[in-house]
Structure 1
């Protein structure tokens, strides 16, 4: 019986190994047998959801070619297609905008550059919003040569709005007391807990960045549709617009159904023209910038935490200081790398973790490797902290940045538990041992330590920012106080050096590395993205080199599902405001825009 069991287990093990080897072989064979690019094609994109900035290697999706299209994928594909004679035009079904104002501007600029090379771009939608706001979708579509909409659609260019919830009274009814301190009055991250409406500074800052974003959108539409800004504002104030009104107002080029638009574009591209999705084109044609001197690309995406980068079941990513710092070190240690593109898309987080990453940016420069920071949707608070020591900082006009400030605190839940009949008894040694406890408010001694910590962090942040921006401390502190700015205003105020996205940052990286502007370069992501087989191996328990900062956690222990469940519960608690944020936090969450 024992021999039988041993033999059965050996057989199962052998079959498992053969299965894995076969699966890896199939993946390799599939990658070697990719079809070619058609001789005549219309590049197609079905934009039915916002584009992620970056996809972490946290699932098996990459092993089966299911990764979603990213911002950089679209930018690279359009750059490649602009120089490809086989590509006759671009046709996009615009179901939504690419994402945030900054993301939309990045892709908008890529479409504009594609058109500048003599290629035609056509946008189609069934409706620019039906019951919702379609302003962002139309703002993106306005950069195309022609815009068509289904006759039954409408043009809901309603404008832009930010809605901020305030729950102080609700928390009071529950018996929860928010006890937070901040530096200074514009640091509004905790106002949703401590206030019941906008404070004066909170309202002032929100009006400023909302107005800036609205102005950018109006100018963009006016320029592309050859209208005045006043005319565009008037049309927005009249919206929602009927389909015929939109055509009469020159916001649309015609009313067509999908089949009509697609047939017209295929015919215009040539009798043998084929449609090819952007993702498939990129896989077959390859990316641009693959030869010449190496420029490293390092991503810093998500909330800043100590430890390794990670991603959640909700699709959100964390910026782990250990992972990003290691990626920067690898780029510095690689003799091929002449400069570093540092892509930051983060609302901030841990002060300590932010400083860990900032230090590696500083060390890269000291090692003679120029660092160009390029900002995505956010680079605020800790997101600004990690970027501020770069040689140059590039932001989109719609990037939300700055928020140079700090907060910390806790939710005091004694009254809440008392309502439920729960009592906490405590034994402690150390005068301030209960400082982080949610069962009691700060004692005077604890409050003094909290204030000292906030003052230390704020002084450090503003002093370093002033030095990195070569700005008098007094001037920098006037721009700080936790205030959020758009990239457009940040440029005016000297907090960033230029407006643009990946192409602008790459041009500045070449300049800093003394590479001719027209020279070919190789943009390589650090750390190197794993192949499909390596991702699969990670999930089967192969962790690879000790120096490899993978973001994949192999599920090889029996308690791993419990750990993952606990993480999900904790994340839900944070989202619901049940758990207190970290102390000493450089974080600047901004409500989602309705636009």
Structure 2
């Protein structure tokens, strides 16, 4: 009997164990399935309206790799991010805030093109302005990309035209006995006029009026086209500024009057039941770094800021907003050596800087072309002086109509402040061994012989610059010499003079790059971004010289950026709680 009971007990125990094992297996399978689903999820809602705030200054590309909050979006983040959003069926539209008056015409054109491309994919764009500050037309031009433009009641609408001014310090320098000695090539090269002139030269006034006229004409024509208003009526509407919201609506400059939550509510309602708002920055944070799109690879090399020699210092919280010659040349060389890269897009937004660094970058561009890889330049807001220098060899150059380009010229010199010290009872003295050891001293002016040498240096660099433009653009040297002279041009005027091939934005440059590299027009491509972005912990490793110690931390960082970890963090958070020109030497800035 005991044996039977033991036998029966063993059967029951085995059955119970089997059932428990089966239940445990089912639970484990469910957990694995849930974890896989969570790992595949990016934590974003099933229906969303992206939000984008354009009221703060936007840089073309940003060296910052880490931020304690949401990193501010650069121009290229916006352009590529909207392209990514087009292909995400969960994204129904975008709600855009404008009105601070910070957008230059060229950046407004780029954003407008990106928003219109986004709309063409079947998604909506709703724009809201509390008011339109500033008399410039950039913010309003960008707003005209929207299906609807909203504005807060009884607010000011200031957009009226294009204008600007300059400050001249010659009178101050005379009073403090400072001696500016700056050689410029040539008469339109005006960056140093603030030190040398008592007022605006006729050449500078000529080029500025032409630039502002070009901006105004473009902004008026484009705004009129998208608002379906006659050009003369659009001009009259702008000339009525400053005006109020109600006046702007009567003149068909805006569509709706309401507060920001009203406009956002309209956007969410248009997106459908259950839609939620997500910032474009949050949306992009779920995407892989350094690459956008799918298909054959095109290198996107971002060159934004002043051009300087050497390498830019990179720390854990970002780096210098400069184009460092060593870094940029290295990025171009890496893209050249990568067999998967079919073409290179060089995105340029720069006022210029060092001659030698510019020439180093240009050399890397030429070697990329010699290797068989086409290079297409996409110009942002500014591609002048050194910014144009690094672009001149490209297979094709694309610029926005409002891009400031050209300024093919040179500045070199210094300001001597030795006599200034005497006004406050101070004195400075130099000691040097060698005939010209103190040529760049900020105390003493150039000797006549040194000043002659400085002017010779300017002549040589200017002659070399113009000859390189003639060769790169395949233009007669005489024509280049005529359109150079240190003069800035709008993209529209630059194209008429052969300095630019096509008017347009980044996507126009991308289409040309595809064509030159043999990629079918309808095919998608992957944009591989250079210089390669580093993670926060990689930056710490470089900054402090850490080795293996940083690797474990970096691995932990990678784990914490996995979708499953991001989802966990999101759940916890949701819990209830209590403008410098190409120069040859140390021109003062």
Q: Structure 1-normalised TM-score? A: 0.82
d(CA) in 2 for partners of 1:587 and 1:222? Answer: 43
- CA shift for structure 1 position 95: 4.2
d(CA) in 2 for partners of 1:381 and 1:315? Answer: 23
SS of residue paired to 2:450: helix
- Establish whether residue 305 from structure 1 lines up as the match of residue 312 from structure 2: no
- Establish whether residue 46 from structure 1 lines up as the match of residue 48 from structure 2: no
- CA shift for structure 1 position 314: 12
Inter-CA distance 314–404: structure 2 relative to 1 (3 Å threshold): farther
2:441 maps to which of 437, 440, 444: 437
Inter-CA distance 243–322: structure 2 relative to 1 (3 Å threshold): same
Structural mapping, 1:5-404, within 5 Å:
35-57=42-64, 60-61=66-67, 64=68, 66-96=70-100, 99-129=103-133, 132-133=134-135, 135-284=137-286, 289-310=292-313, 317-404=321-408
Q: Which moved more, 1:116-125 or 1:524-533?
A: 524-533
Inter-CA distance 289–439: structure 2 relative to 1 (3 Å threshold): closer
- CA shift for structure 1 position 81: 2.4
SS of residue paired to 1:354: helix
Q: How many residues align?
A: 521
- 1:584 corresponds to which residue? 584
- CA shift for structure 1 position 90: 1.6
- 2:559 corresponds to which residue? none
SS of residue paired to 1:123: strand
- CA displacement, residues 126-177 of structure 1 (integer Å, 9 cap, x when unaligned): 1112xx4363222211221111111121211132211111110011111211
Instruction: Tell whether the 8 Å contact from 2:49 to 2:277 is kept in structure 1 after alignment.
Output: yes
- CA displacement, residues 426-461 of structure 1 (integer Å, 9 cap, x when unaligned): 443433333222333222211221121111001000
d(CA) in 2 for partners of 1:68 and 1:216? Answer: 28
Instruction: Tell whether the 8 Å contact from 2:492 to 2:503 is kept in structure 1 after alignment.
Output: yes
Q: CA RMSD in A?
A: 2.7
- CA shift for structure 1 position 284: 3.3
Instruction: Tell whether the 8 Å contact from 1:406 to 1:587 is kept in structure 2 after alignment.
Output: no
SS of residue paired to 2:390: helix
Inter-CA distance 478–199: structure 2 relative to 1 (3 Å threshold): same
Structural mapping, 1:430-579, within 5 Å:
430-542=434-546
SS of residue paired to 2:220: helix
Gaps in structure 1 of 5+ consecutive residues: 1-30, 545-574, 590-595
d(CA) in 2 for partners of 1:472 and 1:43? Answer: 49
- CA shift for structure 1 position 366: 0.7
Instruction: Tell whether the 8 Å contact from 2:365 to 2:394 is kept in structure 1 after alignment.
Output: yes
Q: Which moved more, 1:502-511 or 1:464-473?
A: 502-511
Instruction: Tell whether the 8 Å contact from 1:293 to 1:336 is kept in structure 2 after alignment.
Output: yes
Inter-CA distance 98–91: structure 2 relative to 1 (3 Å threshold): farther
SS of residue paired to 1:348: coil
Inter-CA distance 475–263: structure 2 relative to 1 (3 Å threshold): same
- 1:415 corresponds to which residue? 419
Gaps in structure 2 of 5+ consecutive residues: 1-37, 549-578
- CA displacement, residues 258-277 of structure 1 (integer Å, 9 cap, x when unaligned): 22222222222211222121
- CA shift for structure 1 position 286: 6.0
- CA displacement, residues 189-218 of structure 1 (integer Å, 9 cap, x when unaligned): 100111121101010011111111111111
d(CA) in 2 for partners of 1:531 and 1:311? Answer: 11
- 2:22 corresponds to which residue? none
Q: Which moved more, 1:476-485 or 1:116-125?
A: 116-125
- 2:553 corresponds to which residue? none
d(CA) in 2 for partners of 1:543 and 1:72? Answer: 32
d(CA) in 2 for partners of 1:457 and 1:430? Answer: 25
- CA shift for structure 1 position 394: 1.0
